[in-house]
Every structure is written in C-alpha cells, then in structure tokens.
Amino acid sequence: MPELLKNSANLLGQYQRNATILLVDSNQGLLISLVDVLRHGGFRFVHCRQDLRSLPQYCRELSPDVLVVNQPGDTPSAVNALLASLGSLSSLPAAQRPTLLLRTGALDATARNEARRLGVSDFIAQGCHPAEVVTRVACAAHLQFLGRQEAEQQRQVDAQVRDRTARLLESLEAMQERERTLLAALEHTRTEIRQKADFLAHATHELRTPLNAILGFADLLRREFHGSLGDARYLEYAEDVHAAASHMAAVVDDTLDLSRAESGQVTLDIRDIDIGRAVHDSTRMLRTLAADCGVDLTVKLPDRPLHLRTDPEKVRQIILNLGSNALKFTPRGGRVTVEVQADNRGGALILIVRDTGVGMAPHELPIALKPFGQVRGAQQPGVRGTGLGLPLTKRFVEMLGGTLDIASVPGRGTIVTVRLPAPENDTGDARATA
C-alpha cells in the first residue's frame, strides 16, 4: 500500500501537493489514519479537527482548499446534525469556501441531494481504498485551484471592466462638457452674428439715405440738368462721384445680403419656375454690361422648358452675380457663355457660366470665395468688384440645397458650375421636370 500511495504522490501537481487539507471527524483513530494516508499520498499540509459544529471557525483559521467531513453516524439525528454543520458553511464568503467532500456510509438519496445543495462536490465511501481517497482529494484540490484561478481571472476582468467603464464615463463627461462648451460658444456666435446683422441693417439704412442723395445730385450734375457746368473737368468729377457712389451702394447692399444669409435671416420663397425663362430674363439685364465691356454674351437654353421648384429671386441673383463677374474679368473681344443643362441621371439642374477671361490659379480660388477677397488680375477699365459676389452666390446656392464648383486656368478663363436639386414629385423621385 505505501508503494501505491507513493505512486499517487508522484502524480500530484505542485498546487495539489501544497494544497491545505482539513479533515473533520469525531473519531480520533479514524482521523489519524486518514491524515497518515493523505501525507503518504503526497499532501504536505494536512490538518485535523473533531468538532463538526465549528466548521466555519476552522475554515476562517486555516483557509483550507479542501474540507473532508466524515459522516458521524447513520441515525436520523446524526444525519441532521451533519447537514446542519454543512449548512453553517454558508456564512462564509464565497471566496473563503473550500471544496467540500463527504466521507459517508449509508446515506439515502434525499440526504445526498440536500448535501449537494449545501455544497458537497463529491462523496467518498468510508470503506474505499486509501489510494482512491488520495485521488478524490487530489481532484478536489485541483477543482479548487481551477475555481480560484477562474475567480482571479474574473476579478481581473471585473477590474478591467470597472477601469474601462470609469475611463469611458470620464471620456463621456469630458465630451459632454466639450459639447456644452461648444453649444455655449455656438450660441454666443449666433448672438454676435445677429447683433452684427442688426448693426449692418441699421448702418446700411443710415448709409443709403446720403448715398441716394449723392447719386441723385451727381446724376443731375453729369446731365447738366440746370445748365452747363462750364469747365469740362466738373463733368468728369460728377461722373467719378456717381461711379464711386454707385460702387459704394453696391458694396452696402451686398454686405447686408451676405450678413443676412450668414445669420440665417433670409427667408426663401420657394415656387415652381421655368428656369430657362429665369435665365433669359436675367441675362437680358447683362446685355448692357456685355456691350460696355466689349464681350460677346451667349445664352444656351434647352429646347424644352425645364421646371424647377426653387426661389426665383435667389436664382436671379445667382445668374446676375456669376454673369457680371465673368464679364468684368473678361478682356474686350472675349466671350461669356451662360448655359442651362438637365442632368438626366440624377435629375439635378446644371447652370454653367464660362468665360475666356483672366482666370485664376488654384491658390487664388479660396481667396475669391472669401468676403472682400480680391484676386489680382486684369479686368475691364473702370469696372470694380465688391469682393462679395462669389461668396454671396455660393451662400445662395447652398441655401437652395445646391453646390457651386469653380474650375479656372490663368489666362484661359473660368468655368463656374452650379447644380441645383430637382423637386421631389409625388412618388418621391427627384428630377427636373420638362
């Protein structure tokens, strides 16, 4: 038998050999023999106690990995006392509960089920071979090791989850704080924009009155309404005053329009329009400027009417701004083309303004789209831009749900493409209706 136990000891792992085993049996003789069996079987730390009623106290003192309890007798009172002692282990924290084995004799199925409910993981017959006892205890020690390992891993996972949750909560709080800061800054910006828009509206109203007077009197002077001015230079001065006042009035009007558009104070008047008719009427107003600039103005419209649901006044301003801008920056003898196309694939409407003017380099395009941005380049004598036409046009296009793209080559001209979304019909399709 010692040789067999020695072989069992060789099979024990390091943790099993170092596991703490607690034996509880009221029979001192049997207890000593069982201690001897386990130590010969390879277990280094084996303790024994005799009072079944003190199981929780023993576990707190010794922290056993495996607790082996011997059934004290087969009588109902002895079985009940045993089950009561096993039940007392529930007072221990889960982390302090050992793997529980019960050495039993005669025990009916009901008592066995109750013992399992109270935590017994295995039953060892009291008359079994000592090697089997060693094997059962070794398995229990291994089971306890796996349980504690799993508990430690779970503890680490829980700690990681708590740590990550804490970090996520901190990040969320930081994001919410940044959001509150951004919202406050946005509201502050909106307030500033509204205040600036109100100021500009008041300022432009104050400027328009004297500007109208300057324009009126300058017009009377240059037409010599009340008689000759005498010296021809006075007539030139009157022309210069009228031109300067007209330019200033245009700057005031464009500044106010851009400010209103940026602050969202512009209300769209959405209606069904014939885009071809709108382009025709708008470009008719550009004919005089084209003649003064010595530039050929061509308008290309589709054969069939194209209907679009949009704001007609904003479309008119887009066409006038792009057309006049192209004429101003096209030398005499050049050509400007305003064309309307329908995108049959996506249903969008396309407005294209081409010119053979001075053009722009790639780095100059962002400048041209900024308010008061002035791009260096030759333009018609006596023609000045406000630097607001393109930014205002781009804003109007975006308000209508469209896009504006510019392609330009220095010395060869510029192509501005405006895509306006088609209306949604009753079936939900979006297309330009012909």
**pLDDT one-digit tens code per residue, 204-238:** 667 777 877 888 888 888 877 777 877 778 878 88
pLDDT at position 49, please?
92
Residue 138 predicted with pLDDT over 50? yes
- In sequence order, which residues have a C-beta less than 8 Å from that of residue 347 and are 6 or more positions away? 421, 422, 429, 430, 431, 432
Question: Chain-centre distance of CA 66, in angstroms?
Answer: 54
Domain 271-420 CATH class label:
alpha beta
Q: Nearest 10 degrees: CA dihedral of 196, 202, 207, 212?
A: 130
Residue 431: which pLDDT band, with cuts at 50, 70 and 90?
Answer: very low
* Token pair recorded at residue 322: 């792009």
**CATH no. for 2-153:** 3.40.50.2300
Name which of 44-58, 118-132, 187-201 the model is least confident about.
187-201
Mean pLDDT in residue range 332-359: 85
CA neighbours within 13 Å on the CB side: how many for 44? Answer: 9
β-bridge mates for residue 111, sequence order: none
Closest alpha carbon to 380 in 359, 347, 409, 357: 357
The residue ranges of DSSP E strands in 185-310, in sequence order, are 271-274, 296-300, 307-310
Residue entry with tokens 């003789």:
29
Question: Are the C-beta atoms of 224 and 238 separated by less than 8 Å?
Answer: no
Residue 279 CA to residue 342 CA, distance in Å, equals 14
* Token pair recorded at residue 340: 């309307």
**More confidently predicted of 236 and 418:** 418
CB atoms under 10 Å from CB of 289, counted, come to 18
Tell me the percentage of the chain whose pLDDT exceeds 70: 84
Question: Are the C-beta atoms of 355 and 334 separated by less than 8 Å?
Answer: yes
Calculate helix-pair angle for 2-11, 28-40, nearest 10 degrees. Answer: 60
Residue 89 CA to residue 100 CA, distance in Å, equals 10
Q: Is 281 helix (H, G, I), strand (E, B) or coil?
A: helix
Which of 89-93, 197-201, 427-431 has the highest mean predicted lDDT (pLDDT)? Answer: 89-93
Residue 101 predicted with pLDDT over 60? yes
